[in-house]
Amino acid sequence: MHKLLISLAVLSAVSAAGHTCKTGNVVNRLVSGKPYYFPATWNETMPAPELAKEQTCSWTVTIPQGYYARLIIDGTVRDKDSRFQIIDSVGNFIQTTHEEMDPYFFPPTKFTLAVSNEGVTTFGFQIQWIAHNNTETDFAFIGSLDHDLNVTSSVFCEGLGGEEGISLLAFPQNRKHPYSLRSVLVYEAPTSQQIGNFINNLYEMYLTKKQWISNTPSIVICNLEVSNNTDFLIVQSSIHTKNLNYVELVTVPGTTYNATVNSEKKLSALISASYYNQTMTDVQMDASSVISLYYGTPSGFTFDKNYTATEMKSALPMEYPGGAYTVQWVLNSGEAVFTFQA
């Protein structure tokens, strides 16, 4: 009985201290096809397990051709010096302190997951290897008109080409937590390759708050998982957009909201892609400035009209019905503040 009590005390101490781990772990796809878990006794239906203090750990996860890896992490660091870190196969670096099992997606051939903590931390993860045929099923040439996609509504791969390159702008439904964009992978595709070289996922591109422009005339995008969100992707030919700085109009239903565009240093445009009906009620702009209105990519095919400050005031209010199309207001100089209601 005395020995049993001592054993239980030792087990309790180990449990209280949390799990331990080491650097240099290599994780390959399991022959059984089942997910890999750390710690092995944890799964995603359980609370996040505790990691003992002062751990430095890393896992290099290999991904065979014909598969992608899906990673979920559940954990929170409890001090200012601790971090979770992820590095994908092309060197994209992600650093976080809190994870709630929102998935990450990685193409072949590998990614690295690491954790370094001072105090006790909660940390557990699951990796799945999922078969995926990333051969493009469609190809669209992008010219003077934009190509708009509900990009996370289905699993697909699509090739996109333009005269010089391709411009991408994402409009996630959940702008505060746009994690559903992580499932969309972007590849640059030289003519000699079918799928091309992995560049990044749409989530990381969205965080830059800038349009992404390819270095090659063609790209391939693949969405790996369906979401319940309406996530727009606006695809344009970069020959029409490369000199523009974009400002996203964030529609806020039931309110009055503003957007500021500044073309003092670089030509800028306000862009909207919304299902909501909205009305422009006011514009404050320099007397010498001109706003060009386009229904889509700023080109001759989509041009509507140029407005001086006086003409804008006379045209207000201007109504824009919701739908799967874009509206762009290009400001030729100065600064303008647009006011809308939805």
When pLDDT is cut at 50, 70 and 90, the band that residue 15 belongs to is very low
- Which of the listed CATH numbers 1.10.10, 2.60.40, 1.10.3470, 2.60.120 matches domain 138-241? 2.60.120
- 245-341 CATH fold: Jelly Rolls (2.60.120)
Q: Report pLDDT digits (tens) over 306-335.
A: 999 999 999 999 999 987 679 999 999 999
In the numeric block, the tokens 């702009």 are attached to 285
Contact criterion met (CB below 8 Å) for 183 and 103: yes
- Flag whether the pTM goes above 0.85: yes
Q: How far apart are CA 288 and CA 102, in angstroms?
A: 48
Q: Report pLDDT digits (tens) over 254-281.
A: 999 999 999 999 999 999 998 899 999 9
CATH number for the region 18-131 comes to 2.60.120.290
pLDDT, position 192: 55
Residue 243's alpha-carbon distances to 22, 165, 238, in angstroms, are: 48, 13, 9
What value does the mean pLDDT take over residues 133-138? 73
Contact criterion met (CB below 8 Å) for 327 and 295: yes
Give buried/exposed letters for 28-58 (b at 16+ CB in 10 A, else e).
ebeeeeeebebeeebeeeeebbbbbbebebb
Q: Report pLDDT digits (tens) over 177-189.
A: 999 999 999 999 8
Contact criterion met (CB below 8 Å) for 196 and 189: yes
What value does the mean pLDDT take over residues 54-82? 97
Give start and end residues of each alpha helix (H) in the chain. 2-17, 202-207, 238-241, 309-315
What value does the mean pLDDT take over residues 95-99? 97
Q: Do the domains at 18-131 and 245-341 have one common CATH topology?
A: yes
Domain segments of the chain as ranges: 18-131, 138-241, 245-341
> What does the angle CA 59 – CA 65 – CA 68 come to, to the nearest 5 degrees?
60
* Predicted confidence (pLDDT) at residue 152 exceeds the cutoff of 80: yes
Q: How far apart are CA 336 and CA 194, in angstroms?
A: 44
